[in-house]
Amino acid sequence: MDKAEAKKRIDKLRQEIDHHRYLYHVLDKEEISEGALDALKNELFKLEQAYPEFVSPNSPTQRVAGKPLDKFKKAVHKERLLSLFDAFSKDDMKDWEDRIMKVYRENTGKAEAFDYYCELKLDGLAISLTYNKGVLLRGATRGNGQVGEDVTLNVKTISSIPLTLRNLSDKDWQSLGLNSEEISEAKKIVFNLEIDIRGEAVMLKSVFESLNKEYKKQGLNVMANPRNAVAGSIRQLDPKIAAKRKMTFFVYGLAGSSTLKSILKTREIEDKFLGLLGFKTLKHNKLCSNLDEVFDLYRNLEKKRDTLSFLIDGMVVKVNDLRIWPVLGVVGKAPRYMMAYKFSAEQATTKLKAVIWQVGRTGALTPTAILEPVNVGGATVSRATLHNIDEIGRLGIKINDTIIVERAGDVIPKVVKVLSNLRIGEEKNIKIPSTCPVCHSPLIRPEGEAVLRCPNSKCGAINFQNIVHFASKGAMNIDGLGDKLIAQLLEAGLISDSADLYSLKVDDLLPLERFAKKSAENLITSISESLSRDLYRLIYALGIRQVGEESSQVLAKAFTNSKFNSQKKVVKPLELIEFFKSYSQEDWQVFEDFGPAIASSLFNFFHDKDSLAFVAKLFKYEFELILPKKTVYSQIFKDKSFVLTGSLNSLTRAEAKDRIKALGGKVVSSVSKNTDYVIAGSEPGSKYEKAKKLEVRILNETEFLNMLENK
Ligand code: IVH
């Protein structure tokens, strides 16, 4: 990028950041996540560092966010509410430590290692509370740091905020390690003068979820996330509404440079003191004596993050010794003596380089975005899904666009937004293909569908995906047979479809690259083991459109129930085919949840020449499929509702569901007070917190298994 281009980019970024800042901080609206906004700010910050001649006082990098809205009385803060500098990596943290040590050395002539008090970085809304002679006088939002909004009435609806400060007993005072002079001075300040307390108002995830459920029921707009919910609730002109939106306040400090701070001496003691005065403190806060301990804590918190009952977006690392704070001072908008050590964002900005079209098992083409690699939530992302043509249209995305990608858990990253304001005129439209990229057949697009399809059932890509599906874990579960190996077998001409897998011999594999005797034998063993699987797996493996794992189980049960009494355990598959061939389109719809789409797909499959030829070829091999058990369970779970959260060691989710249903129970997706049991596996999600809150009976895996065994 040359200087002129950098200037252009800087200007565009500033406008964009300011636009989102206004939405986010002034109007409580959010078009892009904080993570994405941080990424833009970061890019701007780096460009301004590279070209300092373009730094200007009104750049977003130089300001404290937000303007107060007019609807509340203004609240002038006696002491400015500052912002925090952000760190995203160990290196950022080490640089910070080097800087503060240097400043400290230059100011005092002393070289000192610091202790750090590490706190959760709550993702809510900053609130400043003024107490006069121990009585709550005012609650205010941050606004622009100097002037906020007076939200006293709403703040008073938050039960975790004390209206009067608690009196400390002698024992309390002593537990803080203060001498008698310090105690009487502190008492005077707190109970005869005015102090400002700072903290964060948050909405618990469980409260947020149940409010949203309620709103949905009433046909009202749902709230985007707990942070927005708090911002909106604190700014309700009617405190009754605020009261209904049950919020929680966590304290994180006394205002800046009070005498009280020098009496208390450390942030750790200050935290304890604020707890004694009646504020909710964070029990996860911890004193660390060096950065390595900070890093350990960070790693633990990042893992635990989802199990907390409120949102956090990182840690705030504070120099523990409060007497050092004035020595280190404030630079611009933020203090040097603390640092926000943020968790990596789950959204980031990057550029779209190209789009490729991948042919799936059903012939559907999925556009995949090829991205400039970017770190999203700790992983490098270079591809993202664009789903289908409609999605491309909806996003209005072009090649070379700056875009936002999102990665949540294990799901495929997706493009969530195009920042079209950053365009420079060199963006190109995405070409929609007219022929299959693999077999070159003209594509079709059924009316009303957003999906382009290759209609050629012999297309190499479709065939390949069919074999991948056949061997996959949920289907025939052929251990060791993955994408790459399947491609290799096709390439070598050893197989042309899934049925050919069963004719493979060890000697066929030996000439192939990466195969030794042992590995070849292992693969042949896994393949032959798959000849005796549960019947439903084979039905699923056939890859009949619309027929997923659950429908396959329904079919396997139907077949078993109507054909056999309970003695029979295994079946030769041809019997199955004969049986299903007799079904008409209507017959198929007798099964629960089977609509016309799946019915016609099943009918077509069992009447299609090619499908039947494939099935006949497949069933020449010695399959012995296991029928589902015909056991009649006692209905011990009759009318009981269950919610599953987290993962179980001994059962898959589908198996657990099946077992519950077999015993007469039902499995629902969200927790309410009508839920009878929540089964919590390892790493349970927010449903677990909600169950605790609603006092729903929670079972761990062992308890659940015992119940299944009727113990
Ligand atoms: S200390 C100097 N401690 O983070 C101003 N802030 O990104 C920071 N925040 O506006 C005060 N948890 O609302 C502090 N444990 C914590 C915090 C915390 C969340 C918020 C705070 C601030 C924002 C800055």
Q: Which tops the pLDDT comparison, 596 or 419?
A: 419
Q: Does residue 101 have a pLDDT over 80? A: yes
CATH of the domain at 468: 1.10.150.20
Q: Whose Cα sits closest to atom 4 in ligand 1? A: 121
In this structure, are 171 and 251 located in the same domain?
A: yes
Q: Nearest 5°: phi and psi at 81?
A: -85, 120
Q: How far is the CA of 87 from the centre of ligand 1 (A)?
A: 14
In this structure, are 370 and 229 located in the same domain?
A: no
Is the CB of residue 453 less than 8 Å from the CB of residue 445? yes
In this structure, are 549 and 510 located in the same domain?
A: no
Banded pLDDT at 256 (limits 50, 70, 90): low
Residue 509: burial class (beta carbons within 10 Å; 0-12, 13-18, 19+): buried
pLDDT on residue 309: 87
From the CA of 123, give the closest atom in ligand 1: 19
Q: Does residue 468 have a pLDDT over 70? A: yes
Percent of the chain with pLDDT over 90: 57
User: Token pair for residue 432?
Assistant: 């929609």
Mutational pocket test of ligand 1: of 200, 274, 318, 333, the residue with most ligand atoms within 8 Å of the beta carbon: 200
Q: Whose Cα sits closest to atom 3 in ligand 1? A: 252
Q: How far is the CA of 287 from the centre of ligand 1 (A)?
A: 17
Q: How far is the CA of 75 from the centre of ligand 1 (A)?
A: 19
Task: Count up the domains in the chain and report the number.
Answer: 6
User: Token pair for residue 71?
Assistant: 């609807």
Q: Is 355 inside a domain boundary?
A: yes
Task: Provide the residue range defining the domain that includes 665.
Answer: 641-709
Q: Does residue 269 have a pLDDT over 70? A: yes
Q: Does residue 380 have a pLDDT over 90? A: no
Q: Whose Cα sits closest to atom 2 in ligand 1? A: 82
**How far is Cα 199 from Cα 281, in angstroms, rounded to an integer?**
9
Q: Whose Cα sits closest to atom 18 in ligand 1? A: 121
Name the 3-class secondary structure at 365: strand
Q: Is 72 inside a domain boundary?
A: no
Q: Does residue 686 have a pLDDT over 90? A: no
Q: How far is the CA of 339 from the centre of ligand 1 (A)?
A: 9
Residue-wise pLDDT for 50-78, tens only, equals: 998 998 766 777 643 334 445 788 999 99
Residue-wise pLDDT for 155-190, tens only, equals: 888 888 888 888 899 899 999 999 999 999 999 999
Q: Does residue 303 have a pLDDT over 90? A: no
Q: Is 364 inside a domain boundary?
A: yes
Count of other CB atoms within 10 angstroms of residue 181: 9
In this structure, are 423 and 284 located in the same domain?
A: no
Q: Which tops the pLDDT comparison, 84 or 305?
A: 84
Mutational pocket test of ligand 1: of 122, 249, 328, the residue with most ligand atoms within 8 Å of the beta carbon: 122
Q: Is 468 inside a domain boundary?
A: yes
Q: Does residue 566 have a pLDDT over 80? A: no
Q: Whose Cα sits closest to atom 7 in ligand 1? A: 84
Is the CB of residue 43 less than 8 Å from the CB of residue 13? yes
Mean pLDDT of 341-366: 91
In this structure, are 608 and 654 located in the same domain?
A: no
CATH of the domain at 352: 2.40.50.140
pLDDT on residue 411: 61
Is the CB of residue 380 less than 8 Å from the CB of residue 427? no
CATH of the domain at 337: 3.30.470.30
Q: Is 624 inside a domain boundary?
A: no
Q: How far is the CA of 697 from the centre of ligand 1 (A)?
A: 36
In this structure, are 238 and 319 located in the same domain?
A: yes
DSSP secondary structure of 89-115:
SHHHHHHHHHHHHHHHHHHHS---PPP
pLDDT on residue 58: 62
Q: Which amino acid is at 698?
A: I
In this structure, are 194 and 332 located in the same domain?
A: yes
Record the pTM: 0.53
Q: Whose Cα sits closest to atom 1 in ligand 1? A: 252
Mean pLDDT of 521-544: 95
Q: Does residue 594 have a pLDDT over 80? A: yes
pLDDT on residue 274: 95
Q: Whose Cα sits closest to atom 14 in ligand 1? A: 252
Mean pLDDT of 447-466: 91
Mean pLDDT of 201-226: 85
Mutational pocket test of ligand 1: of 84, 279, 338, the residue with most ligand atoms within 8 Å of the beta carbon: 84
Q: How far is the CA of 172 from the centre of ligand 1 (A)?
A: 27
In this structure, are 95 and 126 located in the same domain?
A: yes
Helical H segments across 151-266, by residue range: 152-155, 170-175, 180-192, 205-217, 226-234, 239-244, 259-264
Mutational pocket test of ligand 1: of 24, 41, 252, 305, the residue with most ligand atoms within 8 Å of the beta carbon: 252
Q: How far is the CA of 127 from the centre of ligand 1 (A)?
A: 10
Q: How far is the CA of 341 from the centre of ligand 1 (A)?
A: 11
Is the CB of residue 66 less than 8 Å from the CB of residue 26? yes
Weakest mean pLDDT among 168-177, 211-220, 320-329:
211-220
Long-range contacts of 649-653 (CB under 8 A, 24+ apart): 649/681, 649/682, 649/701, 650/701, 650/705
Q: Is 561 inside a domain boundary?
A: yes
Mean pLDDT of 296-319: 91
Is the CB of residue 451 less than 8 Å from the CB of residue 408? no
From the CA of 340, give the closest atom in ligand 1: 7
Mean pLDDT of 515-525: 94
> Whose structure tokens read 């905020």?
161
Maximum C-alpha span of the chain: 96
**Residue 121: active-site member:** yes
**How far is Cα 251 from Cα 7, in angstroms, rounded to an integer?**
42
Mutational pocket test of ligand 1: of 118, 121, 308, the residue with most ligand atoms within 8 Å of the beta carbon: 121
pLDDT on residue 63: 44
pLDDT on residue 708: 83
Banded pLDDT at 611 (limits 50, 70, 90): very high
Banded pLDDT at 554 (limits 50, 70, 90): confident
Highest mean pLDDT among 65-79, 98-112, 446-460: 98-112
Q: Does residue 402 have a pLDDT over 90? A: yes
pLDDT on residue 374: 92
Q: How far is CA 180 from CA 10, 73, 177, 184, 369, in A?
A: 57, 41, 10, 6, 68
Q: Is 282 inside a domain boundary?
A: yes
pLDDT on residue 64: 38
In this structure, are 303 and 267 located in the same domain?
A: yes
Banded pLDDT at 711 (limits 50, 70, 90): low
pLDDT on residue 328: 94
pLDDT on residue 378: 67
CATH of the domain at 699: 3.40.50.10190
Nearest residue to 374 via CA among 395, 347, 398: 347
**How far is Cα 149 from Cα 142, in angstroms, rounded to an integer?**
7
Q: Whose Cα sits closest to atom 12 in ligand 1? A: 121
Residue of 41, 121, 261, 318 marked catalytic: 121
Q: How far is the CA of 343 from the centre of ligand 1 (A)?
A: 14
Q: Is 443 inside a domain boundary?
A: no
pLDDT on residue 568: 65
In this structure, are 493 and 575 located in the same domain?
A: no
Banded pLDDT at 578 (limits 50, 70, 90): confident
In this structure, are 369 and 264 located in the same domain?
A: no
Pocket residues: Cβ below 6 A from ligand 1:
82-84, 119-122, 126, 200, 252-253, 316, 335, 340
Banded pLDDT at 28 (limits 50, 70, 90): low
pLDDT on residue 576: 83
From the CA of 200, give the closest atom in ligand 1: 13
In this structure, are 249 and 309 located in the same domain?
A: yes
pLDDT on residue 452: 92
Q: How far is the CA of 179 from the centre of ligand 1 (A)?
A: 30
Instruction: Tell which of 342, 375, 397 closes a domain.
Output: 342
Mean pLDDT across the chain: 88
Q: Which tops the pLDDT comparison, 62 or 416?
A: 416
Q: Whose Cα sits closest to atom 21 in ligand 1? A: 126
